[in-house]
Amino acid sequence: MSKDYLIILSLLLSTVLAAASSSSSSSSLYLGKGFSHRKLSPSYHIHKTIDESYAVIFDAGSTGSRVHVYRFNQQLDLLRIGQDLELFVKTMPGLSAYAENPQDAAESLIPLLEEAEAAVPQEFHPRTPVKLGATAGLRQLEGDASDRILQAVSDMLKNRSTLNVGADAVSVLSGNQEGAYQWVTINYLLGNLGKHYSETVAVVDLGGGSVQMAYAVSETDAAKAPRAPDGVESYITEMFLRGKKYYLYVHSYLRYGMLAARAEALKVRHSENPCILAGFDGYYVYGGVQYKAKAPPSGSSFSQCQNVVVEALHVNATCSYKDCTFGGIWNGGGGAGENNFFIASFFFEVADEAGFVDPNAPNAKVRPVDFENAAKVACNTELKDLKSIFPRVKDGDVPYICLDLVYEYTLLVDGFGIDPQQEITLVRQVEYQDSLVEAARPLGSAIEAISSLPKFEKLMYFI
């Protein structure tokens, strides 16, 4: 090999390395807080085609607001956004905290909107659907407060965003929508959509203001479903998913989310309540209302607290059907679609505080009896000693940890009829294509939004 050839080769290599270094230093984009410094790769804005689309979904929950950005190919498979399969940012408090000032509610979403828009290539903005789904927190506001907040948010999006803001972009989700979207999300991530209903999983989603239960039933059982009472949404939702029709039993229980349920339990005992740890004497505030929270002289008690929770849930209410959950609500009849439960949201958080799941794990296999065992310890502990036994309990949750554990155990066993020894999956994230994706209903909403676009697979639609 000649000396001149080696010199030329060396110069070419130096030029290539210098160009690569320059590109790397100028093309990386940080997505900001909430992302643990996750970067968009330098090639992020290069590898995109016309046969893909984005969706921006705001989840306006009772405890906070979140934005999720998803990227799909034409077959509605998730594609990466930088190093991850979604962009996820959250902020607190939720929109319902701004009941007196709708403009502030709208402005609280601006940082989330800016982060979402930065993740979507500019040329995709005009055809990227953006949606905001509000949940139980807004549904429970009095008067026209909810409507005024939604209008302010809608105006903000239309005035500030370059994304595709449709006429129905901002709404309060029905309870059935919440449950159906969550069921779709988890079964999509598990690869169950398009399979026989018996191969899907049942879902319970415990939010702050409400709890939803959803699972697939057979066409025969769906045809036998009773008519829901006046004021209650239909028990069966029909959906078309990956070429298959599903009959989904869905019910949402307003006022029985984790934070709302505390208030319901405290209303059962107006003064001293056996669900409150000994040593606490104060007030619990929910929805702008104060509820007295004080332990009796004997302190908290598992058995007495469970009696309170059973009463709050109306477990023994008259049932007009063969089988009910609680409050006289039909339970869907059971069946193969209810064999495997994935339990989301506050269940994992409380199990984490109680110390029987790994706080860093995306999901955990537990049994309802694990909540019972932890509850018996918590309810037998005084306020001053609680943190020494349960060090992961947040300060604001300490007086209510007995109540929270008893409630979750009773909801699963007495409410939903799950055997105390049955294995269930507490889920925060689901592994999908070697990445972890939040097990949150906005993905179901995004799939529905993208399914309506031309050239994309009609993966999901309600019938």
For position 60, what pLDDT does the model report? Answer: 95
Partners of 272 in beta bridges:
294
Judge if 364 and 444 occupy the same domain. Answer: no
Q: Name the domain count of the chain.
A: 2
Q: Is 210 annotated as a binding residue?
A: yes
Q: How sure is the predictor about 48, in pLDDT bands with cuts at 50, 70 and 90?
A: low
Residue 330, number of CB atoms within 10 A of its CB: 21
Q: Please check whether residue 219 lies inside any domain of the structure.
A: no
In a domain, 286, yes or no: yes
In a domain, 43, yes or no: yes
Residue 72: which CATH number?
A: 3.30.420.40
Residues 52 and 110 in one domain: yes
pLDDT of res. 250 = 98
Residue 305 located in a structural domain: yes
The better pLDDT of the pair 64, 458 is held by 64
Residues 455, 419 share a domain: no
In tens, the pLDDT along 327-384 reads 999 999 999 999 999 999 999 999 999 999 999 999 999 999 999 999 999 999 999 9
448 plus 408 within the same structural domain: no
- CA nearest neighbour of 106 among 119, 118, 120, 91: 91
- Which pLDDT score is estimated for 138? 87
Which of 440, 390, 382 has its CA nearest to residue 65? 440
pTM of the model: 0.87
Q: Is residue 17 part of a domain?
A: no
- Looking at the fold, whether 310 and 405 belong to one and the same domain comes out as yes
Amino acid (one-letter) located at 427 = V
The catalytic position among 115, 178, 408, 448 is: 178
Contact residues for 23 (Cβ-Cβ < 8 A; gap 6+): 42
Q: Is residue 340 part of a domain?
A: yes
Instruction: Say if residue 208 carries a ligand binding annotation.
Output: yes
Q: What is the DSSP string of 179-210?
A: HHHHHHHHHHHTT-TTS-GGGS-EEEEE-SSE
Q: Which of helix, strand or coil describes residue 238?
A: strand
231 is in an annotated binding site: no
One domain, residues 155 and 277: no
pLDDT tens, 167-204?
Answer: 999 999 999 999 999 999 999 999 999 999 999 999 99
Shared-domain flag, residues 374 and 447: no
Q: Under a CB-based contact definition with an 8 Å cutoff, are residues 62 and 137 in contact?
A: yes
Looking at the structure, tell me whether residues 160 and 287 fall in a common domain.
no
Q: Does 143 show up as a binding residue in the annotation?
A: no
Cα dihedral across residues 60, 345, 448, 121: positive or negative: positive
Q: Indicate whether 324 and 455 sit together in one domain.
A: no
Specify whether 278 is located in the same domain as 159: no
Give the confidence band of 257 by pLDDT, cuts at 50, 70, 90. Answer: very high
- Residue 6 scores a pLDDT above 90: no
Contact 108, 95 (CB under 8 A): yes
Which range of residues forms the domain containing residue 284?
A: 258-427
Question: Given the DSSP bridges, would you call strands 87-91 and 130-134 parallel, antiparallel or unpaired?
Answer: unpaired
Do residues 288 and 355 share a domain?
yes
**457 among known catalytic residues:** no
CATH of the domain at 366: 3.30.420.150
- The per-residue pLDDT for range 116-132, each reduced to its tens digit, is 999 999 999 999 999 99
Q: Are residues 262 and 125 in the same domain?
A: no
When pLDDT is cut at 50, 70 and 90, the band that residue 43 belongs to is: very low
Whether 90 is covered by a domain: the verdict is yes
| Torsion angle of C-alpha atoms 84, 201, 203, 423, degrees rounded to 10 | -100
**Beta strand 244-254 with 210-217: parallel, antiparallel or unpaired?**
antiparallel
Q: Is residue 304 part of a domain?
A: yes
Distance, CA of 406 to CA of 385 (rounded, Å): 19
Q: What is the pLDDT of residue 423?
A: 99
Percentage with pLDDT > 90 across the chain = 80
Q: What is the pLDDT of residues 222-248, one digit of tens each?
A: 999 999 988 899 999 999 998 899 999
